[in-house]
């Protein structure tokens, strides 16, 4: 299992590795969201996650409603299949692997439809005296690199979209979701 720490502003910041089992030298990623302004309205243009080697590992093209993992681009309508079986859940697919993402309470869980197992979870860490600590993501060893990056991407996409539709979130310095 790999455990990652995402920034409080989930669309801008560093992704740190907390631990992994078995121990492997996991990379550090940077997430940056570029914004555009049209007719006085500001919106997200692209979100890019870059490996510390300089490789872009995934992108979200917000206005084009598309995403890419390791250079392979797809329309969101091709990979987001609709509503899942669980209340409020969504089905996603990447290279024949189907996932159901849902939010039981204040955390996200991803179930692999192919295996029937929970393969990832994301929770928000908040400490009363220290304030926000960001998001903690747990990824199963059963996910290869590409599928792990896809699951990380759908966590970020889904959390950002969820925050847009809920009044319980705070807005970051760039107008992005912070919890």
pLDDT digits (tens, 9 = 90+) for 57-80: 999 999 999 999 999 999 999 999
CA separation for the pair 65, 176 (Å, rounded): 17
Which of the two residues, 16 and 143, has the higher pLDDT score?
143
Q: What is the pLDDT of residue 38?
A: 67
Torsion of CA 144, 150, 154, 157, to 10 degrees: 140
CA separation for the pair 70, 80 (Å, rounded): 18
152-176 confidence digits (pLDDT tens): 999 999 988 888 887 554 444 444 4
- Given a contact cutoff of 8 angstroms between Cβ atoms, the answer to whether 92 and 108 are in contact is no
Tell me what the pLDDT averaged over the chain comes to.
82
CA separation for the pair 162, 54 (Å, rounded): 29
């Amino acid at each position: 299992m790999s455990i990652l720490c995402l920034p409080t502003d989930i669309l801008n910041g560093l992704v740190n590795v907390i631990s992994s089992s078995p121990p492997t030298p996991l990379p550090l990623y940077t997430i940056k969201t570029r914004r555009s302004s049209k007719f006085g309205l500001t919106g997200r243009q692209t979100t890019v996650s870059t490996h510390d080697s300089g490789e872009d590992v995934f992108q979200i093209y917000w206005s084009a409603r598309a995403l890419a993992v390791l250079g392979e681009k797809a329309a969101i309508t091709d990979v987001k299949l609709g509503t899942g079986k669980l209340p409020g859940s969504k089905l996603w697919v990447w290279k024949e692997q189907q996932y159901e993402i849902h939010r039981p309470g204040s955390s996200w869980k991803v179930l692999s439809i192919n295996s029937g197992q929970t393969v990832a979870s994301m929770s928000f860490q908040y400490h009363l005296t220290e304030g926000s600590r960001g998001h903690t993501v747990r990824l199963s060893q059963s996910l290869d690199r590409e599928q792990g990056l896809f699951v990380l991407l759908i966590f970020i996409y889904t959390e950002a979209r969820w925050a847009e539709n809920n009044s319980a979130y705070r807005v970051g310095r760039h107008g992005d979701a912070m919890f």
